[in-house]
Amino acid sequence: MGNKLPNSNLFREGTSIGNIAAKDRATCRNCDGDDCRNNILEDILQEKILISGYFAIFSSSKPEGKCSHGGFWDKTSKTEPEGGINKDKVGSDHGHLHITAANMAVAATSELLEDIRGAAGDKTFLS
């Protein structure tokens, strides 16, 4: 979605994390061959709607129009819309964003640990 900083509200009580996709709102289309760069619907991206991918090892069932996590073990990624949105590794469906996502995760973890350190104090945090 082009974010450059982590969403700090994900770990702050009483704050909004942003717009979340409604239960019945379509979020994805089929991947085009092996390329899943354009499988998230344009309106979802334009409105910066937060989405997640469904994942299941034993069932291919997911709500109509919803994204899958994707990858070898995810049976939902074979159900329309096919493909996934994960950035777990460079070879993933959205692997072109892996480095950005990994850097964002490191920044979010650092920010959260700094918040905990600030609340607990240095001595307690470091003990």
Flag the least confident range among 1-10, 43-52, 85-94: 1-10
Structurally, the chain folds into a number of domains equal to: 1
Q: Which domain holds residue 50?
A: 14-119
pLDDT of 41-86, one tens digit each? 999 999 999 999 999 999 999 999 999 999 999 999 999 999 999 9
Residue 1 lies in a domain: no
Residue 8 lies in a domain: no
Residue 60 lies in a domain: yes
Residue 59 lies in a domain: yes
The answer, as to whether pTM is greater than 0.75, is yes
Residue 5 lies in a domain: no
* 107 phi/psi in degrees, rounded to 5: -65, -40
Residue 101 lies in a domain: yes
Residue 91 lies in a domain: yes
Distances (CA, A) of 95 to 11, 13, 59, 60, 116: 25, 31, 24, 22, 31
Residue 45 lies in a domain: yes
